C-alpha cells in the first residue's frame, strides 16, 4: 500500500519518522481505514485495565451489600460538588483529546495543540481537585482505614488517580505530537490514537466510579 | 569469519537434525531443542510455584489467614501444617531454579533487537532476572525458616516472620514492572522482517507492568482488598504475574520453533 505524501493514514507507533512519506519498512504494520484505533496491542492493555476495575467495582458492590447503611451514610459525606466538577472536567478533556486527534488528521494543525492544551489543563485540574477533596477528608480525620466504605473509596479513587497521573503524561505526549504536526513534521497518527484511547478509558472509568461512590443509594 | 559462521549456522541451527559438530552430544540433541526446553521453564516455574503455595502445601495462595490474625492463630497454623509447609518450601525452591532460564531466554531472544548498539535493554533484563529470582528464592527460604522451628518459637516472633513472608511474596512489584517494560520496549523496537515476538505481546508486558502494581500497596493495610491476604494484593497480582510468564513462555516456544531468534540476521560481531 503506497503512502502518498501528506497522507494521514496511520501507522503503528515506533517507526522512525523519516519513513512516514516513504515506503514502509518491512515488518511495519500498516493500518487502514476501518482499522483498530491506535495499535491492536493497546486494547489488551485497555481491556486488561478495565478487568481490574471490574474486580474493584464487583468487590465494592459485595462489600456494600454487607453494610448498606454505612455505605449510604458515608457516601453523603463525600464532596459531591467536586465529584460533579471532576466528571465535567474529564468529559471535556475527552472531547478535547478527540478533537485534537481529529485536527491533526484533517490537517487543521493550528487547533491540534490548542485542544491538547485544553485536555492537559483539564487533567491537571482533576489532579488538583483530587488534592482538595482528599485533603479535606484527611484533615477531617477520615483515612482509608477509618471504615470499610472509606477503605474502598480511597482505594478505588486512588487506583483511578494513578491512571490519571499516567494519563497526564500521555496528554503531554499528545501535546508534543500535535505541536510537531503543527510544525509540519511527521507524526504518528497511531500514537495519537493510542494516547487518546487511553485517556478515554480513564474518563470512562470515572463515569462509572462517580455514580457508584457518590450517587448510589 | 563471516563465512565460517554461515557454515556453522547451517550445521548447528538446521531444523531438527542432529549436530555434526559436537561429536560428543547425544543423538538428536540440538541447540534448538535445548533452547525450546529453556522456553518451557516458564511453565514449569509457574506450575511448581503454584503447587508449592497451594493449600496442599504452604497454603499462601490463597492465604490461610490474614494480617489481622492473632499470634496464637499464626502459631497454631504452623503447628498444624508444619510438614506440608516445609514440603512447599522445598518444591518452591525447586521451582525457583526454573525462573532464571526463562528470564535469560527472553533476554537472549531479544538481544538481536539491539544489534550494533550497546545491549542496554538486554543487560537490564538480565539484571532484573537476578532481582526477581532473588525474590522468589528468598521467599521460599523464608517459608522454610518460619517452619523450621515454629513449634518452639515465640508466637509474636513467628507472626512477625510470617508477615515478612508475605512481604516477600507481594511487595516486590516495581522491579518486576520495570523488567516487563524493558521487554515491551525491546519488542516494540524490533523492526526486523520477522520480529521475535508479535508486536502486541509488548502490550501484554505493559499490561502486566501497570496492573500488577496494586500489590505494591500491601504495606499500608491490614484489612481489606489491599491487605496481604486481599484481592488486590494476592489474587490479582498472582493472576497477572503468572499470565505474563505463561504468555511469554508460549511465544518464546513459538518463536524458537520458527528459529528466527537465532538467524544469521543477528550480527556475529554483536556484544557478548
Instruction: Please name the residues in contact with B185: beta carbons below 8 A apart, sequence gap of 6 or more.
Output: B121, B202
| Closest to B236 (Cα-Cα) out of B216, B256, B260 | B216
Mark yes or no for CB contact A59/B200 under 8 Å: no
Average pLDDT, chain B: 88
User: Residue B15 pLDDT more than 90?
Assistant: no
CB contact under 8 A, B236 and A52: yes
H runs (alpha helix) in B149-235:
155-170, 174-188, 199-211
CA B108 vs CA B99, B124, B198, B243, B252: distances in Å: 15, 12, 16, 21, 11
- Chain B residues with at least one Cβ partner in A under 8 Å: 188-195, 199-204, 206-207, 210-211, 213-214, 220-226, 231-232, 236
pLDDT for A71: 94
The per-residue pLDDT for A137 is 94
Grid cell digits, residue B234: 494476592
pLDDT band at B260 (very low <50, low <70, confident <90, very high): low
B22: left (phi over 0), alpha (psi -120 to 50) or beta: beta
* Structure letter (DSSP) for residue B173: -
Neighboring chain A residues of B200 at a CB cutoff of 8 Å:
39-41, 44
For residue B211, what is the nearest residue in chain A, using CA coordinates? A49
Q: Output the pLDDT for position A106.
A: 85
Quick one: pLDDT band at residue B264, thresholds 50, 70, 90? very low
Maximum CA extent, chain B: 71
Tracing cell 537465532 back to the chain, one arrives at B262
Number of neighbours of residue B270 by Cβ within 10 angstroms: 14
What are the residues whose beta carbons fall under 8 Å from the beta carbon of B202, sequence distance 6 or more? A41, B183, B184, B185, B187, B188
Q: Do A52 and B195 touch (CB under 8 A)?
A: no
| Residue pLDDT, tens place only, A118-175 | 999 999 999 999 999 999 999 999 999 999 999 999 999 999 999 999 999 999 999 9
Task: Please check the confidence at residue B178 and state whether its pLDDT lies above 90.
Answer: yes
Q: What is the pLDDT of residue B73?
A: 96
Residue A5 φ/ψ, nearest 5 degrees: -60, 135
Determine the angle formed by the axes of helices A68-76 and A42-66, rounding to 10 degrees: 110
Letter string b/e over residues A19-45, b meaning 16 or more CB atoms within 10 A of that residue's CB: ebeeeeeeebbebeeeeebbbbbbbbb
Higher pLDDT, A171 or B270: A171
Q: Which segments of chain A have a pLDDT < 50?
A: 1-31
Do A27 and B221 count as a contact with CB atoms less than 8 A apart?
Answer: no
> Lowest mean pLDDT: which of A20-24, A109-113, B189-193, B260-264?
A20-24
Output the CA torsion B255→B256→B260→B266 (10° steps): 120
| B213-231 per-residue burial string, b: 16 or more CB within 10 A, e: under 16 | bbbbbbeebbebbbbbbbb
**Rounded Cα–Cα distance for residues B28 and B205 (Å):** 35
CA atoms within 13 A on the CB side of A171: 28
- Going through chain A in order, the beta strands assigned E by DSSP cover none
DSSP lists the bridge partners of residue A30 as A11
According to the model, what pLDDT value does residue B23 have? Answer: 53
* ipTM metric: 0.82
**A40 chain-B contacts, CB cut-off 8 A:** 199-200
Amino acid at each position: 500500500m503506497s503512502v502518498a505524501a501528506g497522507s494521514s493514514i496511520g501507522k503503528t507507533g515506533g517507526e522512525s519518522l523519516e519513513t512516514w512519506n516513504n515506503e514502509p519498512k518491512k515488518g511495519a504494520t500498516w493500518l487502514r481505514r476501518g482499522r483498530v484505533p491506535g495499535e491492536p496491542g493497546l486494547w489488551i492493555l485497555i481491556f486488561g485495565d478495565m478487568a481490574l476495575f471490574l474486580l474493584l467495582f464487583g468487590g465494592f458492590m459485595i462489600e456494600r451489600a454487607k453494610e448498606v447503611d454505612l455505605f449510604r451514610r458515608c457516601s453523603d459525606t463525600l464532596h459531591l460538588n467536586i465529584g460533579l466538577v471532576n466528571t465535567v472536567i474529564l468529559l471535556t478533556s475527552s472531547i478535547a483529546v478527540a478533537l485534537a486527534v481529529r485536527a491533526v488528521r484533517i490537517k487543521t494543525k493550528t487547533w491540534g495543540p490548542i485542544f491538547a492544551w485544553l485536555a492537559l489543563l483539564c487533567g491537571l485540574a482533576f489532579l488538583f481537585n483530587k488534592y482538595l477533596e482528599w485533603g479535606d477528608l484527611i484533615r477531617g480525620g477520615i483515612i482509608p482505614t477509618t471504615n470499610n466504605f472509606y477503605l474502598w473509596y480511597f482505594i478505588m479513587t486512588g487506583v483511578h488517580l494513578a491512571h490519571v497521573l499516567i494519563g497526564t503524561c500521555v496528554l503531554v505526549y499528545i501535546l508534543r505530537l500535535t505541536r510537531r504536526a503543527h510544525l509540519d513534521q511527521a507524526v504518528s497518527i497511531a500514537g495519537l490514537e493510542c494516547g487518546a484511547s487511553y485517556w478515554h478509558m480513564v474518563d470512562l472509568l470515572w463515569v462509572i466510579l462517580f455514580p457508584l461512590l457518590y450517587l448510589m443509594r | 569469519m563471516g563465512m565460517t559462521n554461515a557454515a556453522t549456522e547451517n550445521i548447528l541451527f538446521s531444523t531438527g537434525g542432529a549436530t555434526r559438530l559436537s561429536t560428543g552430544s547425544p543423538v538428536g540433541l540440538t541447540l534448538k531443542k535445548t533452547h525450546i526446553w529453556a522456553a518451557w521453564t516458564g511453565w514449569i516455574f509457574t506450575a511448581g510455584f503454584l503447587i508449592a503455595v497451594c493449600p496442599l502445601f504452604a497454603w499462601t495462595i490463597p492465604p490461610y489467614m490474614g494480617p489481622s490474625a492473632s499470634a496464637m492463630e499464626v502459631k497454631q497454623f504452623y503447628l498444624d501444617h508444619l510438614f506440608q509447609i516445609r514440603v512447599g518450601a522445598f518444591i518452591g525452591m525447586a521451582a525457583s531454579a526454573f525462573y532464571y532460564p526463562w528470564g535469560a531466554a527472553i533476554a537472549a531472544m531479544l538481544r538481536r533487537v539491539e544489534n550494533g548498539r550497546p545491549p542496554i535493554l538486554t543487560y537490564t533484563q538480565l539484571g532484573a532476572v537476578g532481582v526477581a529470582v532473588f525474590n522468589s528464592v528468598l521467599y521460599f527460604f523464608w517459608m522454610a525458616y518460619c517452619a523450621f522451628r515454629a513449634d518452639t518459637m515465640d508466637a509474636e516472633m513467628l507472626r512477625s516472620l510470617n508477615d515478612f513472608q508475605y512481604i516477600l511474596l507481594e511487595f516486590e512489584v516495581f522491579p518486576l514492572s520495570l523488567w516487563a517494560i524493558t521487554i515491551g520496549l525491546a519488542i516494540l523496537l524490533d523492526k526486523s522482517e520477522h520480529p521475535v515476538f508479535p508486536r502486541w505481546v509488548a502490550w501484554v508486558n505493559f499490561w502486566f507492568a501497570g496492573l500488577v502494581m496494586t500489590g505494591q500497596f500491601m504495606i499500608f493495610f491490614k484489612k481489606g482488598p489491599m491487605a496481604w491476604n486481599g484481592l488486590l494484593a494476592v489474587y490479582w497480582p498472582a493472576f497477572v504475574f503468572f499470565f505474563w510468564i505463561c504468555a511469554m513462555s508460549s511465544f518464546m516456544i513459538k518463536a524458537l520453533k520458527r528459529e528466527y531468534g537465532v538467524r544469521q540476521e543477528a550480527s556475529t560481531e554483536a556484544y557478548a
